[in-house]
Amino acid sequence: MSFKVKDHYFNLAKKNNYLARSAFKLEEIDKKYSIINSGSHVLDLGYYPGSWIQYVLQKPKFSGMVTGVDIQEVNEGLAKNPRLNLYQMSIEDICELADIGVDKKFDVVQSDMAPKTTGIKTVDQLRSLSLVELVFYKLPILLKEGGDLVIKVFESQDAQNFFKDQKNQFEKINFLRPKSTRKVSKEYFVICKGYKFP
């Protein structure tokens, strides 16, 4: 069954010229929670290869700007779009907006960042949660008041507790496991709407 799901979204990604099937996860999240608006200023953390960025830039009437950050080498194929700026750096190295070439905070921060997995469940869960914690640590400099955050995390009790503790930072927090997620995957997405600036 999981292979059937894989084939379906793999083929669909190919048909839509998406660089990865992950695009369908963001599409489902966006359709359900209205994240990307026509003029949105979007920060994509862990963008590589760039299917989330493709989804955003191809949205009808999209006239906003997208900044992508990843530790991997810049995807030159994507980089030519005038609405897009890409940086090869770690989230850890973003200390101020100028580090990623902007001077105003983002309407949307989206993070599909995933750690290098070891296959050891507890280690991978901890690494995933560390990336999430880093994003929350940087949010005051990155996300504007009222803005939205979409973020991936691997399932764990610690992750649940972490998000419970963050609930006052946003108007509403929702959890979703998109249909295109592989059955074997332990990831889910947290959709945080309406940032209350601390």
Applying CB under 6 A, the residues found at the interface with ligand SAM are 19-20, 22-23, 45-52, 69-72, 90-92, 112-114, 131
Task: Report the residue number whose CB is nearest to ligand SAM.
Answer: 46
In the complex, the smallest distance separating the C-beta of residue 146 from ligand SAM, rounded to whole angstroms, is 24
Query: By C-beta, is 48 or 106 nearer to ligand SAM?
Result: 48
- Closest distance between ligand SAM and the C-beta of residue 46, in Å? 3
Smallest separation (angstroms) from ligand SAM to the CB of 155: 16
DSSP 74: P
Q: Which is nearer to ligand SAM, 10 or 194 (CB)?
A: 10
The least CB distance from residue 179 to ligand SAM, in Å, is 16
Separation CA 64–CA 109 (nearest Å) = 13
71 or 194, CB closer to ligand SAM? 71
| Distance between CA atoms of residues 198 and 196, nearest Å | 6
**Minimum CB distance to ligand SAM smaller for 77 or for 82:** 77
Cβ-based neighbours of 13, under 8 Å, separated by 6 or more: 19, 20, 21, 23, 24, 51
Nearest CA to 159 out of 137, 192, 188, 197 is that of 188
Phi/psi-derived region of residue 108, left when phi > 0, alpha when psi is between -120 and 50, beta in every other case: beta
**Catalytic residue set:** 152
**Residue among 172, 91, 86, 75 at smallest CA distance from 131:** 91
